[in-house]
A and B are shown apart, each in its own frame.
Chain A
Amino acid sequence: MMRSRLWLAVACLLATMGSAVAQKQGGTLRVTHRDNPPSASVLEEATISTLMPFMAVFNNLVVFDPATRENRLDRVVPDLATSWALTDDDRTLTFQLRDGVKWHDGKPFTSADVKCTFDMLSGKVASKMRKNPHKTWWFNVKDIATDGDNKVVFHLTDPQPSIMALFAAGFSPIYPCHVPAAEMRTHPIGTGPFKFVEFKQNESIKLVRNPDYWKPGRPYLDAIEYTIIPNRATMLLAMATGKFDLTFTSDLTPELMKSLQEQAPETQCVLQPTGTQGNLLVNRERPPFDNEQIRRAMVLSIDRKAFSDILSRGIFDVGGVDLPPPEGRWGWSKEFMETVPGYGADVEKSRDEGRRIMKSLGYGPDNMLPLKVSTRNIPDYRDAAVILIDHLKSVYIQAELEPLDSSVWYARLARKDFSVGMNIQGISIDDPDATFFENYLCGSERNYTSYCNADLEKKFHEQSQMKDLDARRKLVWDIDKTLQMDAARPVVFHAKAATCWWPRVHGINIAMNTIYNHWRFEDVWLDQ
């Protein structure tokens, strides 16, 4: 008995040692990239095209534990901050910063860099950033103060437990104060595990190992090379022949994933929520859509399961604003969803109700309401818009597709120059503080439909201040239900797609509830 225990202990020890020494140093990770990133500045963009390749250049104050698959508040771990503390009133948050960290250009990292980053992000100081897409995240930051080089203090207007999730988001890296914003767009400087080498427009991005990285022994890779391959068929063939180690995140539809695994059965793929959701935009300022009843009838015409079946063979999720479980933390349960009008299993019953509403307004099979459904002229948007047009017919709405060039789409949304639109948007963090404030706050730039509900806005703030997760979730579900019933921006589907890699790549840990994180590659190594 004693001997078998000894053997077991030795075996465990060897296994542990084996895994500890198994990681190999060196090699270049070759990754495909779907398109040309608009710039290299993570803070100025809201697209994964920028975040995935450039996240490895930076560090955050804190991160979601990269070893776990779920990005959640109780899994926030130190990064540039070694510890943090809240005062009793939950309004003062102090971060103790890591000592001896250097920027890639050799200058020391200090608390001034943290202050300057968040002053810029919260709009407290004028900056040379061209855009600030996540400004609404920092609505609660009153001011930021430094206490020596290694301590920074955030004063909050109200308690906000979720602010730690925002600090841990991929889009919240710390920028160096001494580097101009224009330079960060073309030649980013960070403290991260990889240094920027070059970004050739429409061609490639190259990062190399930071030998002075503050985390001992990391990163394992010598370099990461992204090759921009806009053509999906070429990318698939290149991946299948082993020219690349890893695909761009969520670049493969379920069909493409199947095709790749048929051609290269050794490849490993993870199908995950992309963080993008399809939603219906109704311009509530433009008649007749200022009529709440018409908006309601439109919502009742939607068969969400049909969207999922047609677009993804039933893989896309159905839910409200927040990502549905099991991947999402804040989305409705199946039982709760059944109670939301338009989400029930009996679509025909909802459509009967929609037709009744439209008839009461004078519309019918012989007098259909004509409208244009505007959307971006790219396949993902167009396909969804065509399905929507078909569904609208069921409530006496005769819609026509208006495909718009990408250059015109957001300009039209900003001018509110549309009646009905089919939109697909990214939600970069699975937390209501990001989703509600970014998309439904009165006056937010991303609130395309100008939805403004003062009572609900109070509830946005209320949920944001709640510590009790279960109570917060209950309130979040109710807010989400109200948003869907008000047709603020009815959510039609939550998309899913796959990321694939060859077995020689180790240490990839894809988050299950976001694609906008876990791309620092410091634990990734190549077995070759």
Chain B
Amino acid sequence: MLDYILRRLALMVLTLFGASVAIFLLLRIVPGNIADILFDSAGMIDPAEKQQIIKDLGLDLPLVEQYARWIGGLAHGDLGYSYVSEKPVLDEILPRIPITARLAGLALLFAVCTGVPFGVISAVRQNSWLDYILRVFSLLFLSMPSFWLGLLVLMAFVNWFGILPIYDKAPPTWGAFALMLGVPAATVGLRSSALIMRLTRSSMLEVLRQDYVRTARSKGLSEGAVTFVHALRNAVLPVITTIGIETAFLFGGLIVTETVFNIPGVARFLVEAIRWRDYPMVQNLVMFIAVIVVMVNLIVDIAYMFVDPRIRLRA
């Protein structure tokens, strides 16, 4: 088992190295650099001033040296300075991480807590009116773009309740705080919830037809015990895989949701940093996201071992 985890960890390091090179090179392939964009707001470019900015920021150095400086800094916990705010990258990122982490965590929790039970209900009540309704809604949420859904939710809250659940540094009441957290999380989690529901349903339908389920029923076990103990445990493996993948996809949804709900999190900040070609900020933020995604996948791999004894034995 330890060998399995160590192998996964080694793969993780390799993946992160590849990601760092890809991020670094891709950023520099994209046309335009910070020096050009800094002049955007001035409506002109002064070649001498531009050259000075490029020199000051070390953008005239060879790519290998720039990469080595970045990785060397990372190893020492020095993430460099933002080109735009001229503040340490760590100071800019750190306050935003909890905001996004909370939103992502809640969204994932919402997705799992609604997706899995509804998937089970839909499978158990196959071809009933409840199944049809759940399938229609899951299709609807899967095909609805996050930004549109977000705006609809905002407009609905304004029109029906006269409140706007956008980010507030100091929400006046606990209710406002709960709404401020819950509504965006539900909005971003709906797509994942729909996906998890559909996957749980199809996986459950397959498992419910297995011989061991029939055996469990013939033993006289209650329907609940058959469904949740025997069927769901076997059906949940592909769902766990999907949760791992969805964590990565969640960041895409978060960018839109953070913009619509005006949440000052990492995802929205990343988009702005890319627009500005703020290399230190983008590199470190994308690396941070890569680490999270790789870590979640490691956790998923480890979870497999606990859920499925065959993997544990093979490991």
Contact = CB atoms under 8 A, between A and B. Distances in A.
Nearest to B256: A231
Q: Interface size for chain A: under 10, 10 to 19, 20 to 34, or 35 or more residues?
A: 35 or more
Contact of B37 (A199, A231, A407): A407
Q: Interface size for chain B: under 10, 10 to 19, 20 to 34, or 35 or more residues?
A: 35 or more
Given A130-B49, A234-B260, A234-B261, A425 B31 contact: no
B96 to A, nearest CB: 8
Interface stretch (A1-9, A235-243, A364-372, A457-465): A235-243
A504 B4 CA distance: 66
A500 to B, nearest CB: 16
A414 interface: yes
Nearest to A227: B262
A473 to B, nearest CB: 26
A414 B268 CA distance: 30
A410 interface: yes
Given A130-B49, A407-B32, A446 B43 contact: yes
Contact of A46 (B42, B49, B151): B42
A502 B118 CA distance: 46
Contacts of A204: 169, 264
Contacts of B132: none
Interface string B141-170: 000000000010011001000111010010
A146 interface: no
A254 interface: no
A69 interface: no
Interface string B111-130: 00000000000000000000
A445 B45 contact: yes
Nearest to A414: B45
B84 interface: yes
A243 B269 CA distance: 23
A182 B158 contact: no
Contacts of B87: 186
A201 B84 contact: yes
Contacts of A425: 43
Nearest to A32: B262
Contact of B36 (A132, A133, A182, A407): A407
B301 interface: no
B41 interface: yes
B49 A131 contact: yes
Interface in A388-428: 405-411, 413-414, 425-426
B77 interface: no
Nearest to A411: B36
Contacts of A108: none
B277 interface: yes
A38 B45 contact: no
Interface string A45-64: 11101100000000000000
B272 interface: yes
Interface string A116-136: 000000000000001111000
Given A202-B268, A407-B277, A46 B158 contact: no
A408 B44 CA distance: 12
Nearest to B274: A407
A44 interface: yes
A230 interface: yes
Contacts of B259: 230-231, 234
A47 B31 contact: no
B141 to A, nearest CB: 20
A408 B262 contact: no
B41 A38 contact: yes
A234 B84 contact: no
Given A36-B272, A408-B32, A410-B45, A238 B166 contact: yes
A239 to B, nearest CB: 10
A516 to B, nearest CB: 13
Most buried by A among B46, B53, B151: B46
Contacts of A413: 45
Nearest to A134: B42
Contact of B43 (A46, A240, A243): A46
Nearest to B43: A46
B263 to A, nearest CB: 9
Given A237-B154, A241-B163, A410-B36, A133 B31 contact: no
B85 interface: yes
A130 B52 CA distance: 8
Contacts of B272: 36, 201-202
A38 B40 contact: yes
A142 interface: no
Contacts of B158: 237, 240-241
Nearest to A376: B40
Nearest to B39: A410
A407 B28 CA distance: 13
A498 B98 CA distance: 37
B43 A426 contact: yes
Contact of B260 (A130, A231, A411): A231
B275 interface: yes
A42 B253 CA distance: 35
Interface string A17-52: 000000000000000000011110000111101100
Given A237-B166, A410-B45, A414-B47, 18 more contacts: A45-B42, A47-B42, A50-B41, A130-B38, A185-B86, A202-B269, A234-B151, A234-B262, A240-B158, A241-B164, A406-B40, A408-B31, A408-B36, A409-B40, A410-B36, A410-B40, A414-B44, A445-B45
19 contacts: A38-B38, A46-B41, A130-B38, A133-B42, A204-B169, A204-B264, A234-B151, A234-B166, A237-B164, A237-B166, A238-B166, A240-B158, A241-B158, A405-B32, A406-B32, A407-B37, A409-B40, A410-B43, A410-B44
